[in-house]
């Protein structure tokens, strides 16, 4: 029997934390709590990470904001690759694209915008559950885009006239006028393509009916032959690159 009620059986203390371990654990909890409270303004790689009114802001050491995560019903990430003082920014946000609450449609949009008002002014990608759009939407002027859904592709805009970006372009379109006095006309590409380009074209002469055809084509040019030298021939083409 124990000598008095204040004595402790050593066998009951086996596996239990001693007073030193309890102090160390409490110190760690206090440190973690302080770290959590300091997360609102923490130095990250010589920059700042700030939580302000529910938004998360990442800035450089000079205070210029490079990214802002906006809270709310429409979550958004605004990025400032050229600095917050620049006229434009990049925005990524998710939202319900369908105005009917009974038919929700998950959507996400990434686009370049004017900083004042977040007006679109550049490239845009819109992804929804039903379709996707690759677009160029200037602040002023018409939007050009390609839309894809279960039905197929929809193109909205104009095709470039005799514009070639590289030797690997898949499509080369445009038109030109073959002046009178010639029975053949050679159209040479600005850059020889890496593979053969197959011409698809039409010829028109005002007030005159003529015969015409492709005489030769290659990766660098195509030749059109006409049945007469009379009149200026309007030639339009839609040429695609093949293997």
Domain residue spans in the chain?
A: 44-156, 171-241
d(CA 64, CA 206): 63
Average pLDDT over residues 223-237: 92
Does the pLDDT at position 150 exceed 80?
yes
Bigger pLDDT: 3 vs 112: 112
The pLDDT value recorded for residue 7 is 52
Per-residue pLDDT, averaged over 193-201, amounts to: 94
Length of the chain: 243
d(CA 194, CA 169): 9
19: part of which helix (H) or strand (E)?
Answer: helix 19-38
Residue in 132, 131, 109 with CA at minimum distance from that of residue 122: 109
Place 184 in a pLDDT band, splitting at 50, 70 and 90: very high
Reported confidence tier of residue 6, pLDDT bands at 50, 70, 90:
very low
Q: Which residues contact 5 (CB under 8 A, 6 or more apart)?
A: none
Answer whether residue 38 shows pLDDT above 90: no
């Amino acid at each position: 029997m124990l000598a008095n009620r204040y004595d402790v059986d050593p066998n009951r203390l086996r596996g239990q934390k001693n007073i030193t371990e309890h102090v160390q654990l409490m110190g760690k909890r206090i440190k973690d709590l302080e770290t959590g409270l300091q997360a609102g303004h923490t130095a990250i790689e010589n920059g700042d990470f700030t939580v302000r009114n529910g938004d998360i802001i990442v800035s450089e050491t000079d205070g210029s904001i490079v990214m802002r995560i906006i809270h709310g019903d429409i979550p958004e990430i605004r990025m400032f690759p050229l600095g917050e003082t620049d006229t434009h920014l990049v925005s990524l946000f998710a939202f319900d694209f369908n105005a009917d609450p009974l038919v929700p449609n998950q959507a996400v949009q990434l686009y370049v915008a004017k900083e004042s008002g977040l007006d679109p002014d550049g490239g845009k990608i819109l992804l929804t559950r039903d379709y996707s759009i690759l677009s160029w939407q200037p602040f002023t002027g018409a939007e050009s885009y390609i839309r894809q859904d279960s039905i197929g592709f929809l193109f909205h805009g104009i095709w470039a006239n005799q514009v070639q970006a590289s030797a690997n372009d898949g499509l080369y379109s445009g038109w030109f006028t073959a002046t009178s006095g010639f029975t053949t006309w050679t159209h040479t590409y600005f850059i020889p393509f890496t593979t053969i380009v197959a011409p698809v074209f039409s010829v028109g002469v005002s007030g005159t009916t003529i015969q015409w055809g492709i005489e030769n084509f290659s990766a660098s040019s195509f030749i059109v032959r006409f049945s007469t030298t009379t009149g200026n021939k309007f030639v339009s083409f839609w040429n695609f690159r093949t293997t």
